[in-house]
């Protein structure tokens, strides 16, 4: 149903809905959805919450994940994904776009855009993807001050503190930072770039009774684990941040190569979402029904094929 109909909207703030999901049994699975269409498809596949990756948003703009994306650009993606899906959305807040006041402004902006949760990380700008080399860490107390500022600014937003410390400070450093961030007001911890099952399990054992988030990105340092395996290791949330963008990008490249090679799309038709499938996903008829001046669309059966 269209988001324009008030009766279809959630009765509670997004952050409350996110907490409700975490209170249920099982690990909360959040696929990365880099735009409204991906959000609709993930919702239709049965997911109850979504993730917005800074790397995916930035890459969709044709840019690298080096802290280039602005807060307002992220808010645009957040509004789009939240509005399209109607689901709670966890948003990547990078380093918080500055210091304490900037972080507070980010929290207010993201809540107003429909975010349910946010994570901020303890890197310094220019930041990098957590699975790359030469990451520079902020002072732990400076990061804790950002977490405290975010906690003070929020009304309902669920706050996750990400630490990239394992690579340079070891498990002791990552655990110490996690404890400091929890004391500052974080609701959960995201230990980034764990490289083995043993590391995931040790972190969970040393940070007990705290909701933990696992990142199952491809082509990174983390081996492949399933959601159920992460749950068995002690994790309450798992994200697949860039997976949908990777698949979409690969498909687009194959399409463009085919057009250049064949002079048309005729060999790619069977790989396309049909017009009927597109309209069903975006709910065209539901929108048309809201305005009696619009005659319901009759979907063409398709062009003649050679």
Domain assignment present for 299: no
Mean pLDDT, residues 257-263: 98
- Parent domain of 281: 250-294
Q: Does residue 289 share a domain with residue 183?
A: no
Indicate if the pLDDT at residue 180 is higher than 70.
yes
Give first-to-last CA distance, the chain, whole Å.
37
Looking at the structure of the chain, the number of domains it has is: 2
**The dihedral sign for the CA sequence 200, 203, 208, 212:** negative
Domain assignment present for 301: no
% of the chain surpassing 70 pLDDT: 94
- 1-28 tens-digit pLDDT: 568 888 888 889 999 999 999 999 999 9
Residue that is last in its domain, among 199, 218, 242: 242
User: Across the chain, what does the average pLDDT equal?
Assistant: 93
Catalytic positions are: 51, 65, 92, 94, 119, 121, 129, 162, 192, 215
Q: Does residue 81 share a domain with residue 56?
A: yes
Mean pLDDT, residues 291-301: 83
Indicate if the pLDDT at residue 134 is higher than 70.
no
Q: Does residue 46 share a domain with residue 15?
A: yes
Residue that is last in its domain, among 225, 242, 259: 242
Residue 221's pLDDT band (boundaries 50, 70, 90)? Answer: confident
Q: Does residue 199 share a domain with residue 276?
A: no
Rounded to two decimals, the pTM is 0.94
Q: Does residue 129 share a domain with residue 18?
A: yes
Domain assignment present for 39: yes
Indicate if the pLDDT at residue 185 is higher than 60.
yes
Residue 49 pLDDT = 99
Q: Does residue 53 share a domain with residue 123?
A: yes
% of the chain surpassing 90 pLDDT: 81
Q: Does residue 265 share a domain with residue 147?
A: no
User: What is the distance between the alpha carbons of residues 170 and 186, in angstroms, rounded to a whole number?
Assistant: 21
Helical axes 36-44 vs 275-282, angle rounded to 10°: 90
Indicate if the pLDDT at residue 304 is higher than 70.
no
Residue 45 pLDDT = 98
Eight-state DSSP code of residue 63: -
Domain assignment present for 306: no
Residue 129 pLDDT = 62
Residue 109 pLDDT = 98
Eight-state DSSP code of residue 5: S
By C-alpha distance, which of 32, 69, 88, 47 is closest to 218? 32
Residue 239 pLDDT = 98
Please check whether residue 144 is in contact with residue 178, taking contact to mean a CB–CB distance below 8 angstroms: no
Indicate if the pLDDT at residue 135 is higher than 80.
no
Mean pLDDT, residues 205-231: 96
Q: Is residue 161 classed as helix, strand or coil in its secondary structure? A: strand
Q: Does residue 170 share a domain with residue 66?
A: yes
Domain assignment present for 1: no
Residue 132 pLDDT = 58
Q: Does residue 256 share a domain with residue 232?
A: no
User: What is the distance between the alpha carbons of residues 91 and 15, in angstroms, rounded to a whole number?
Assistant: 12
Residue 103 pLDDT = 98
Residue that is last in its domain, among 207, 225, 242: 242
Residue 250 pLDDT = 97
Please list, residue by residue across 44-79, b when 16 or more beta carbons sit within 10 angstroms of its beta carbon and e when fewer do.
Answer: eeebbbbbbbbbbbbbbeeeebebebebeebbebbb
Domain assignment present for 305: no
Q: Does residue 140 share a domain with residue 217?
A: yes
Q: Does residue 220 share a domain with residue 99?
A: yes
Indicate if the pLDDT at residue 281 is higher than 80.
yes
Domain assignment present for 303: no
By C-alpha distance, which of 59, 149, 77, 60 is closest to 108? 149
Please list, residue by residue across 133-143, b when 16 or more beta carbons sit within 10 angstroms of its beta carbon and e when fewer do.
Answer: eebebbebeeb
What is the domain-level CATH number for residue 238? Answer: 3.20.20.60
Domain assignment present for 304: no
Q: Does residue 150 share a domain with residue 80?
A: yes
């Amino acid at each position: 149903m269209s988001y324009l109909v008030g009766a279809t909207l959630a009765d509670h703030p997004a952050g409350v809905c996110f907490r409700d999901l975490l209170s249920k049994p099982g690990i909360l699975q959040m696929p990365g959805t880099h735009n409204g269409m991906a959000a609709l498809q993930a919702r239709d596949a049965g997911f109850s919450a979504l993730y917005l990756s800074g790397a995916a948003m930035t890459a969709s703009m044709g840019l690298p994940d080096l802290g280039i994306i602005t807060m307002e650009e992220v808010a645009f993606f957040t509004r789009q994904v939240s509005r399209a899906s109607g689901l709670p959305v966890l948003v990547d807040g990078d380093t918080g776009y500055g210091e304490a006041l900037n972080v507070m402004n980010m929290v207010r902006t993201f809540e107003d855009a429909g975010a349910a949760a946010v994570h901020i990380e303890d890197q310094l700008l220019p930041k990098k993807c957590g699975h790359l080399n030469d990451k520079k860490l902020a002072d732990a107390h400076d990061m804790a001050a950002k977490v405290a500022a975010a906690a003070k600014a929020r009304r309902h937003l669920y706050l996750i503190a990400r630490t990239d410390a394992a690579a340079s400070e070891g498990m002791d450093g990552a655990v110490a930072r996690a404890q400091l961030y929890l004391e500052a007001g974080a609701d959960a911890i995201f230990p980034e770039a764990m490289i083995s099952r043993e590391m995931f399990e040790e972190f969970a054992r040393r940070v007990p009774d705290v909701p933990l988030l696992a990142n199952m990105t491809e082509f990174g340092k983390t081996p492949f684990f399933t959601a159920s395996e992460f749950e068995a290791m002690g994790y309450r949330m798992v994200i697949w941040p860039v997976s949908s963008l990777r698949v979409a990008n690969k498909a687009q490249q194959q399409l463009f190569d085919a057009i250049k090679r064949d002079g048309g799309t005729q060999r790619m038709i069977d790989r396309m979402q049909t017009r009927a499938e597109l309209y069903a996903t975006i709910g065209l008829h539901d929108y048309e029904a809201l305005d009696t001046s619009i005659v319901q669309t009759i979907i063409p059966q398709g062009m003649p094929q050679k």
